[in-house]
Structure 1
Amino acid sequence: MLKELNQQRRAKAFTDLKIVVEGREFEVHQNVLASCSLYFKDLIQRSVQDGSQCGREKLELVLSNLQADVLELLLEFVYTGSLVIDSANAKTLLEAASKFQFHTFCKVCVSFLEKQLTASNCLGVLAMAEAMQCSELYHMAKAFALQIFPEVAAQEEILSISKDDFIAYISNDSLNTKAEELVYETVIKWIKKDPVSRAQYAAELLAVVRLPFIHPSYLLNVVDNEELIKSSEACRDLVNEAKRYHMLPHARQEMQTPRTRPRLSAGVAEVIVLVGGRQMVGMTQRSLVAVTCWNPQNNKWYPLASLPFYDREFFSVVSAGDNIYLSDTLERSCRKSSNSFVSQQQSEVQTCFPRI
């Protein structure tokens, strides 16, 4: 049926809608176009209802916000299901398809663009998808850009994105970087691309760099000597904060800020640990020695080193740094206070300390 309708369209036979774009006339069937585009369906209905087309043989719509060659490709897809799409026209076609609500056409463009994502274009595609509220392409481009940050940081495109988009990108916990120094260097490059207008944002940008994870020697030899940093009191305060973090490891618990939270690529995460517990075995309860942790970043459970005792209960548990401390355990048989333990989970070792 569509093949016959397309032949009629080309012959301008039985068409009842004329669309005028950039001086070119396109004759189509109202029902075909309305079935594929909610935008045109609503536009046709309103034009018929307001009576502005009375006396005309065909309904006529004049559009000023669309290119004629783009409309031609859209109509070709509507009537044939085929589409000539390439890297040169994909963005333009998607913008038009999204604007005029050709949803099937949008899916084809999105699928094409997802396969064409590279380090040199992913941020541009991300910004376009956000502007068009194209969630599928947005999430795909975002995940892609975050995963290959070192490659993206080497491209010119990152130096041209807006300040807000730049901050949203480098502040993301999922930014995949093995060295926070690269994030810092990218910030400096972005500012120096247009220092007259961008230097004012130095402190705002530096605040989303995880400076405490930069090596101390790099802080002293590179960051401290950067003129953009030296000329800003707010920037110097951020650098000094990072220095204190390195100099006072035992006070890090009191220095928690968004900058001290490791990125996911660092392989470090805050977890919830379950220690011991009770289990019904027949008619009796048995104390558990299992220690497990839940990682909220990937929603998975992991086993840790088990407790070194079976018949203790009413113990206290506290964490400090990477260690978990258990104290004041009681033997169930005699309610005798026993030793304290420290569980060093990285080495899966428990060390016993005599009770003081």
Structure 2
Amino acid sequence: MAVTALICAAVLLAAPGTAQARPLASPAEPTPQTPRSLEDVRKEIDRLYRQAARATDAYNAAEEKAKKQSRDIVKLAREVVRGQEKLDRLKAQAGAAARAQYRGGGMPPEAQLMLSDDPQQFLRGTRQVRQGQHATKGLLAELTRTQDDLKTYAADASSHWKKLDSLREKKAKAKKEIEEKIAAAEKLESKLKKEERERLRKLEEEAAYKRQKAWLDSGALTGGDRADGVGAGGKATTGQGKKAIRYATAQIGKPYEWGAEGPGSYDCSGLTSQAWAAAGRGIPRTSQEQWKRLPRVDVKDMRPGDLIIYWKDASHVGMYLGDGAMVHAPRPGRHVTMAGAGSMPILGVVRPGG
């Protein structure tokens, strides 16, 4: 449990001598509200950033769907162009047939055939008339189908544009919420003095350590979990899993940025999706979709490379490294880092690789 020991030791060394939080403002100072403790501030900041994380997932989901709608619209536009070109060719053929009939005095081929005195010409003409009738019917049918196809393409394109507009509205709404929540959290933190900000970070570390210790004490990792590529269930990590881990850990120290997928910054699901993409396995972009669409495994059976989904709303994700540790992009103002896998409430575990 070397990684776990390092994480726990670092948190313990950083923890303050007393966990008691004092009021931010002096009781003598007039204030319309009861002064909040530093622990209350920590919980409020955590709540705001979690709300921002949910909105980020909504933004990323709308962004992915908008990209697909845009690709579909481009594809439809190409189909419309090809369909229009085909329709123009068919109309040109129909026009040529009409001009040929006009040059024949406007008399239908059947009538011209009946007036022929030559039996051989009559027989040859009969076959040609039949072929001409078949070709004309085919031409008209193809004209009709092409016109119908163009109408369908136009209707589909209109539907896709409406969906794209709706997705843009969702993105704008989510972006506004993200920015509002982050601004509110930053405003709260900006009111703290330097020493209070330091104590706030230590309180965050303490809370994470307590959750991690409780998780480990629960026996979640019983089964011989190690940080050498072998999971709790005794199954070795695949080559893809090792590649994903190498990618994710190579990003440690890079800043969190909502909506970012690298290479300079990441949000939580941006990091995990890009890590597995680098390993040759495409996975959903958001933590909620990763939770919905990827195969689930029991926590006791997880192995390095698996993704741990956090909170009941699946608004956060990290990559399991083994030995009770994970790597993740925590939140705005933080950097990609290693942390205890149980330092947040675990919803479940999913496995991108086989």
- Identify the TM-score tier after normalising by the shorter chain: under 0.3
Q: Greater relative contact order: 1 or 2 (C-alpha under 8 angstroms, separation 6 or more)?
A: 2
TM-score normalised according to structure 2 size: 0.19
TM-score normalised according to structure 1 size: 0.19
| Larger relative strand fraction | 1
